[in-house]
């Protein structure tokens, strides 16, 4: 099937009522910096997305980042190559909450599938995403959030995302770039690879973490496949290695306000990590994923 903008954008978004957040949910996001929505995707939709994963992971491309073990860690910009994931990223039930929470139209700054493979999926150190987007990509303000759609059950053993609720209200905590062991990316890749690996470029130290935890506490985000996490660009988060026999595949879609477009930077990261296509997303109806299965040529 051809992957084109038109196939998704010509379908009217008002075919189904918009799934909007309640004022309480918006207030909760503003207070805690995250929102967890259980059963945001049905088992059938989850299956449809999971069926695509072996193809996504098999594609040899610079967009695919490996763990030191050789297992797939992340694959970036999958929405630009795979119709099902493109459809996911345009779904009303993700785009509309993002628009409500950011108070404007949105575009996709970054899209990645994190594999967190059984026994091989490595850690993500404590960090704030906005620090990377601000320092590396020229994003002016933290008017940005990420929606994470978990395609497998997440429990305490397979590396749940750990959040520090309320920590987004501390603002961006600037930390010095660390000298890190970048896997051989070659050429320019050596510059941006340490922003994606288990040995992160900007990591917070024990004192900063201890200080944060005097005012906040840590929450592990667990749930049944299909749950979705929205979290603020300044929310501190991390995850441990996967010590279980179960993978923890999550799809991370970062929506940025169109009023928060990237400034020019001296060494821009590749477009598959930091998009400079600021066109607002036109959402597609919430039944579009299932329609893809039933009308695969649409
Ligand atoms: C991230 O912080 O970008 C990813 C965290 C995770 O996959 O657990
Ligand atoms: Mn992150």
Cα–ligand 2 centroid distance for 10 (angstroms):
33
Residues with CB under 6 A from ligand 1: 114, 116, 124, 161, 237, 239, 250, 252
Greater pLDDT, 287 or 177:
287
Residue 19 is predicted with a pLDDT of: 75
Cα–ligand 2 centroid distance for 239 (angstroms):
9
Cα–ligand 2 centroid distance for 254 (angstroms):
10
pLDDT at 206 over 50: yes
- DSSP code, position 220: E
pLDDT at 90 over 80: yes
Residue 3 is predicted with a pLDDT of: 37
What CATH class does 25-294 carry?
Answer: mainly beta
pLDDT at 186 over 60: no
Question: What is the pLDDT confidence band of residue 180, given thresholds at 50, 70 and 90?
Answer: low
Within 8 A by CB and 6+ apart from 51, the residues are none
pLDDT at 5 over 70: no
Predicted TM-score of the model (pTM): 0.92
Domain boundaries, the chain: 25-294
Residue 297 is predicted with a pLDDT of: 54
Closest atom, ligand 1, to C-alpha of 252: 3
pLDDT tens per residue across span 220-270:
999 999 999 999 999 999 999 999 999 999 999 999 999 999 999 999 999
Residue 12 is predicted with a pLDDT of: 46
Closest atom, ligand 1, to C-alpha of 237: 2
pLDDT at 86 over 80: yes
Contact 56, 112 (CB under 8 A): no
Angle between helical axes of 83-90 and 43-58 (0-180°, round to 10): 130
**What ligand is nearest to the CA atom of residue 161?**
1
Residue 201 is predicted with a pLDDT of: 84
Residue 67 is predicted with a pLDDT of: 96
Site to substitute for ligand 1 among 128, 252, 253, most atoms within 8 A of C-beta: 252
pLDDT tens per residue across span 20-36:
999 999 999 999 999 99
């Amino acid at each position: 099937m051809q992957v084109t903008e038109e196939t998704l954008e010509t379908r009217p978004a008002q075919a189904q009522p918009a799934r909007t957040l309640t004022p309480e949910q918006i207030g909760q996001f503003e207070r805690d910096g995250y929102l967890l929505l259980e059963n945001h995707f049905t088992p059938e939709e989850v299956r449809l997305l999971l069926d695509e994963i072996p193809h996504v992971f098999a594609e040899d491309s610079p967009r695919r980042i490996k763990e030191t073990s050789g297992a797939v860690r992340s694959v970036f910009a999958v929405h630009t190559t795979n119709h099902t994931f493109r459809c996911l990223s345009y779904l009303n039930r993700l785009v509309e909450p993002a628009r409500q929470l950011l108070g404007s139209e949105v575009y996709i700054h970054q899209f990645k599938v994190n594999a967190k493979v059984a026994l091989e999926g490595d850690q993500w150190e404590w960090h704030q995403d906005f620090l990377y987007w601000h320092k590396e990509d020229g994003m002016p303000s933290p008017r940005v959030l990420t929606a994470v759609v978990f395609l497998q059950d997440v429990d305490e053993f397979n590396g749940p995302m750990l959040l520090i609720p309320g920590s987004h209200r501390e603002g961006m905590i600037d930390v010095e770039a660390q000298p890190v062991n970048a896997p051989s990316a070659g050429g320019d890749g050596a510059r941006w690879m340490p922003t994606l690996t288990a040995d992160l470029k900007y990591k917070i130290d024990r004192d900063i973490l201890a200080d944060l935890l005097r005012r906040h506490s840590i929450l592990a985000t667990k749930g049944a496949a299909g749950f979705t996490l929205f979290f603020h660009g300044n929310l501190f988060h991390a995850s441990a290695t996967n010590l279980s026999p179960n993978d923890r595949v999550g799809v991370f879609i970062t929506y940025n306000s169109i009023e928060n477009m990237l400034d020019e930077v001296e060494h821009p990261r590749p477009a598959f990590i930091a998009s400079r296509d600021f066109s607002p997303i036109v959402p597609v109806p919430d039944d579009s994923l299932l329609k893809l299965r039933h009308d695969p040529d649409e």
